[in-house]
Structure 1
């Protein structure tokens, strides 16, 4: 890469990193890749859902340019005095498998991708809280389809709810969530307590044609958690 192109790329990286840092008090490799337009948010979502083998597979440029951009990003973060914090990335699937960033899967490269850079203006306690939040496993998402014209790619059955996997929709039984109970939205206190008591849960969403987006319908939680939460509220 010649000096002029490197300078232009450096400017793009810095703009993307500064924007992310201002918005959330930390910045990650993903923030930069999305910010400079090399990583499509839709493709990122598929990777987060375990539907893509490794993130670099979806980055819209060659390996040498990715490496250069990441070097520029780390140089900027170090010069700015940001604090590195390694973050654990897991898929939005019941298996919670660790997500892979690079084609090689090399531990050193994976660590560079996983590292978040946190604002030095935050207190130690604030930095720890932010790092903990970033490493928290993402919520599982289950879809309430608008119609029943779908088939589980594993057992070829159907149901009222489904989870999207790389190979297609899966029924809750095949996805390992068939034992959970649906708790409709509406009773905030019951929902909060049941969620806290359930070792496993998933958010149920349904697509709204009028609003053009998925909207939350309730939670899937363990039946025992619902019963325990209800007993507490009945006292």
Structure 2
């Protein structure tokens, strides 16, 4: 890379990194790649949902340019006195499989991408809270489909809900979620208490054509947790 191109890339990397750091007191390689326009946020979401084998293939540039951007990012983070921290990345799937960044699973590349850089100005307690939040497993997301004729890619069945997997949609039975009960949105207190008591739950969403986005419809939750929450709410009334 010639000096001028490297200088321009450095400016873009620093701008993206500083924006993320200002917003959250930490910054990750994904933040930088999205910020400089090499990685589409939609591709990141699909990868987080387990619909892509690795993230590397979604980055819209050559591997040598990615490596150069990451070197510039790490140099900036070290010069700024940021604190490195390893972060867990698991899929929004019932199996909670570890997400892979590189096509070949190279340990050095995986470590690089899992390293978040945290503001050194934060207290140890605040850094611990950030780490806890970053390492928290993401909520499972189940879709209430608009098309009733969809088919499960595993068994060929269907149903009122589906969960997206890499090969395609899967029914709740094949995904191991068919024991959960639907709790419609609308009762915030009941929802909070049921979530607090549940070992497993999934957020149910449905696509809105008018708003062009997925909107929450409720939860799929363990029946015993829902029953306990309902009893607690009745006692409190």
User: TM-score category by the smaller chain?
Assistant: over 0.9
Matches of 1:108 and 1:40, distance apart in 2: 23
- Aligned pair count reads 235
Q: How does 1:64-83 map to 2 (within 5 A)?
A: 64-83=64-83
Gaps of 5+ in 2: none
Matches of 2:74 and 2:125, distance apart in 1: 24
Gaps of 5+ in 1: none
- C-alpha offsets along residues 89-141 of structure 1, whole Å, 9 cap, x if unaligned? 00011110000111231222211110111112221111110111011111111
Q: Secondary structure at the match of 1:141?
A: strand
Q: Match for residue 179 of structure 1? A: 179
Q: Secondary structure at the match of 1:217?
A: strand
Q: How does 1:23-42 map to 2 (within 5 A)?
A: 23-42=23-42
Matches of 1:136 and 1:167, distance apart in 2: 26
Q: Match for residue 150 of structure 1? A: 150
Question: Does 2:98 correspond to 1:98?
Answer: yes
- C-alpha offsets along residues 64-89 of structure 1, whole Å, 9 cap, x if unaligned? 11111101000000101111111000
- With 114-123 and 92-101 compared, the bigger mean Cα shift is at 114-123
Matches of 2:165 and 2:200, distance apart in 1: 18
Matches of 1:2 and 1:208, distance apart in 2: 47
Matches of 1:94 and 1:6, distance apart in 2: 42
Q: CA deviation at 1:153?
A: 1.1
Q: CA deviation at 1:204?
A: 0.2
Q: Match for residue 108 of structure 2? A: 108
Q: Match for residue 227 of structure 1? A: 227
Q: Match for residue 6 of structure 2? A: 6
Q: Could you tell me the TM-score, scaled by structure 1's length? A: 0.97
Matches of 1:51 and 1:165, distance apart in 2: 5
Matches of 2:102 and 2:153, distance apart in 1: 28
Matches of 1:109 and 1:212, distance apart in 2: 36
Matches of 2:19 and 2:4, distance apart in 1: 23
Q: Match for residue 140 of structure 2? A: 140
- The RMSD of aligned alpha carbons is 1.0
Matches of 1:47 and 1:213, distance apart in 2: 18
Q: Match for residue 117 of structure 2? A: 117
Q: Point out 4+ residue stretches in structure 1 off by more than 6 angstroms.
A: none
Q: Secondary structure at the match of 1:60?
A: coil
